[in-house]
Amino acid sequence: MFERVLVATDGSESVRRAIDVGLDVAARFDADLHAVTVLDTGELASTPEALREEYRAALESQAETALDSLEQQVATESVSTAIRDGRPEAEIRAHADEIDADLIVAGTRGRHGEHRQLLGSVAEHLVRTSSVPVLTVRQLATDEEAEL
């Protein structure tokens, strides 16, 4: 059913469960696993010009760390990773199209955490605009147990 699963990550703690679910789906269907993270050019553009280079370097480092962390979670399988520049929802969709993904897995909260409502979020945009199914995974409250 799924041959290529794309997991979107921003390296935040809240996306960890989405990564776990994406890894599980890929393993259950013996699918190729891909991961993408996006350097949000909107955030970069709103940064004071004097700090933009330093901020970009910090975002790139964070993106590399996020993908390295995901790769370490994958025991025996390999994962293809990509770092893209642009609007996260557009770049995730574009990457899914490029790799011919059958499923996109994304968390419902990212780096902006609780301060950002679902409406207008990357996950919500993906659900509305993606040409492939999107599995959104919410972060559990501390008193909830995960069942995979």
pTM for this structure? 0.84
Nearest to 38 by CA among 16, 66, 14: 66
Q: Hey, what domains does the chain have and what are their CATH numbers?
A: 4-137 (3.40.50.12370)
pLDDT in tens, 27-76: 999 999 999 999 988 888 888 989 999 999 999 999 999 999 888 888 65
